[in-house]
Structure 1
Amino acid sequence: MIDAPVSPTDTEVAAAAALAGAEVVRDRYGRRHSRIDKGAGDFATDADVAAEAAILDVIRTARPGDAVHGEEGGRYGEAGAVRAWLVDPLCGTLNYATGSPLVAVNVALRNGPAAVADPFSGEVFLTDGETAWVRHGTAGRASRRVAGRPEAGEERLAPTADTRLVDVNLDPPFPGAPAFRAVDLLARPGFVERFRPRVLSTTLALAWVAAGRRAAYVTDGGDLSGSVHFAAGIALCRAAGCVVTGVDGAPVGPEGRGLVVAADAETHGLLMSSIRERGRSA
Structure 2
Amino acid sequence: MVITDRDLVIRAAEAGAGVVRAAYGASLTRFEKSAGDFATAADIDAERAVLDVLRTARPGDAVIAEESGRTGAADRTWLVDPLCGTLNYAARTPLVAVNVALRTGSDITVAASADPFAEEVFWAEGGHAYVRRHGVDSELVPSADSRLVDVNLDPPFPNSPAFRAVRLLANPEFVERFRPRVVSTTLAVAWVAAGRRAAYVTDGHLRDSVHFASGIALCQAAGCVVTGIQGQPLHTGAGGLLVAADQETHATLLALIASQFLTG
Q: 1:40 to 1:129 in 2, by over 3 A?
A: farther
Q: 1:47 to 1:64 in 2, by over 3 A?
A: same
* 1:241 equivalent among 209, 217, 223: 223
* TM-score computed with the length of structure 2 as normaliser: 0.96
Matched, 1:109 2:102: yes
Equivalent residue number for residue 131 of structure 1: 128
Larger radius of gyration: 1
CA contact (8 A) 1:129 1:235 kept: no
Query: Structure 1, residues 82-127: CA drift from partner, whole Å, max 9, x if none?
Result: 1000000000000000000000000000121000000000100010
**Matched residue type, 1:206:** V
* 2:66 equivalent among 63, 68, 71: 71
Shift of 1:253: 2.0
Equivalent residue pairs, number: 260
Aligned equivalents of 1:50, 1:254: Cα separation in 2: 34
Shift of 1:64: 1.0
Aligned equivalents of 1:30, 1:51: Cα separation in 2: 15
Task: Give the match's secondary structure for 2:82.
Answer: strand
Q: Where in structure 1 are there 5+ consecutive unaligned residues?
A: 139-152
Shift of 1:192: 1.0
Equivalent residue number for residue 191 of structure 2: 208
* 2:209 equivalent among 227, 249, 255: 227
Aligned equivalents of 1:126, 1:172: Cα separation in 2: 27
Query: Structure 1, residues 121-153: CA drift from partner, whole Å, max 9, x if none?
Result: 010001013100000125xxxxxxxxxxxxxx2
Task: Give the match's secondary structure for 1:54.
Answer: helix
Task: Give the match's secondary structure for 1:186.
Answer: helix
**More strand per residue:** 2
Equivalent residue number for residue 27 of structure 1: 22
Aligned equivalents of 2:230, 2:29: Cα separation in 1: 39
* TM-score computed with the length of structure 1 as normaliser: 0.90
Shift of 1:8: 1.4
Query: Structure 1, residues 226-246: CA drift from partner, whole Å, max 9, x if none?
Result: 100000000000000000111
1:1-282 alignment, distance < 5 Å: 5=1, 7-77=2-72, 79=73, 81-110=74-103, 111-138=108-135, 153-222=136-205, 224-282=206-264
**Matched residue type, 2:60:** G
Shift of 1:172: 1.8
**Matched residue type, 1:173:** P
**Matched residue type, 1:34:** T
Moved more, 252-261 or 164-173: 252-261
- The list of structure 1 runs, each at least 4 consecutive aligned residues, that deviate by more than 3 angstroms after superposition, is none
Q: Where in structure 2 are there 5+ consecutive unaligned residues?
A: none
Aligned equivalents of 1:129, 1:18: Cα separation in 2: 18
CA contact (8 A) 2:50 2:82 kept: yes
Equivalent residue number for residue 143 of structure 1: none
Aligned equivalents of 2:13, 2:43: Cα separation in 1: 13
CA contact (8 A) 2:131 2:139 kept: yes
Shift of 1:175: 1.5
CA contact (8 A) 1:188 1:278 kept: no
CA RMSD in angstroms, aligned pairs only? 1.0
* Aligned-residue identity in percent: 65
